[in-house]
Amino acid sequence: MRISLCIFAYFLGSIPFGLILAKTFKSVDLRKIGSGNIGATNARRAGGWGLGVATLACDVLKGAIPVGVAGLLNSGTQDFNGEIWIAATAICAVSGHLFPVYLKFKTGGKGVATAAGCFAVISPPALMASLLVFLAAVGLSRRVSAGSLAAAASLPFGVFWTTHSVILAGCALIISGAIIFRHTENIKRLRDGTEPPMWGEKS
């Protein structure tokens, strides 16, 4: 059952909701607009706040649903075996978003929203702390990517502080590392001063 849940988490995570919603309601392909990313930020660029928020909500649920089921299967216990399966489910969900099977493992998102869904279940206080870091970084830099990177970097510390679990903190570290890796191009643009601001960005 637990292995089946991990498989389900991956396939659910692979669903490119941003791409589907943009094609359905705006007749546009997110992969050919702006940054080419299928996540909420590019969806907002392509179709406005409504499309962006809808994509964000769907991507969050891709993480929250399977991890929530994993928590129920483990009856809220905090034993080693239970935490392993919760962590594995979260990693599978985010992996699906990053490397979607439906898109031939290419042009996946950056994993921020799906990771947020996972940790909304695993550790809401840690997620809230990372959200505050995100808002502070965006406020100072006016760059969503800077906020995402700062939030990802802070998440493992918050998870360990709130859960005291090496397994769950290790899960957060793996997922955060993957998110930061997927922001490689953003990091280069931030370093070069060419990363577009939150308002009116074009790429």
Domain that holds residue 10: 2-192
Instruction: Tell me if 197 is assigned to some domain.
Output: no
pLDDT at position 150 is 97
Segment 160-164 mean pLDDT: 96
Instruction: Tell me if 75 is assigned to some domain.
Output: yes
Confidence of residue 81 (pLDDT cuts 50, 70, 90): confident
Confidence of residue 79 (pLDDT cuts 50, 70, 90): confident
Instruction: Tell me if 201 is assigned to some domain.
Output: no
Q: From the CB of residue 104, how many other CB atoms can be counted at a distance below 10 Å? A: 8
pLDDT at position 9 is 98
pLDDT at position 80 is 82
Q: Please determine, for residue 94, whether its predicted confidence score (pLDDT) is greater than 50.
A: yes
Looking at every residue in the chain, the average pLDDT score rounds to 92
pLDDT at position 199 is 59
**How many folded domains does the chain comprise?**
1
What is this structure's pTM?
0.91
**For 133-158, what is each residue's pLDDT tens digit?**
999 999 999 898 999 999 999 999 99
Segment 70-85 mean pLDDT: 80
Phi first, then psi, for residue 109 (nearest 5°) are -80, -170
**For 6-22, what is each residue's pLDDT tens digit?**
999 999 999 999 999 99
- In degrees, rounded to 5, the angle at the alpha carbon of residue 136 between the alpha carbons of residues 135 and 141 is 100
pLDDT at position 75 is 66
Instruction: Tell me if 7 is assigned to some domain.
Output: yes
| Residue whose token pair is 């969050």 | 60
Instruction: Tell me if 171 is assigned to some domain.
Output: yes
Instruction: Tell me if 199 is assigned to some domain.
Output: no
Segment 155-162 mean pLDDT: 98
Q: Please determine, for residue 179, whether its predicted confidence score (pLDDT) is greater than 90.
A: yes
Q: How far does Cα 38 stand from its chain's mean position?
A: 12
**Where are the alpha helices (H) located in the chain, listed in sequence order?**
2-14, 17-26, 40-47, 49-73, 80-98, 112-122, 124-141, 144-163, 166-182, 184-192
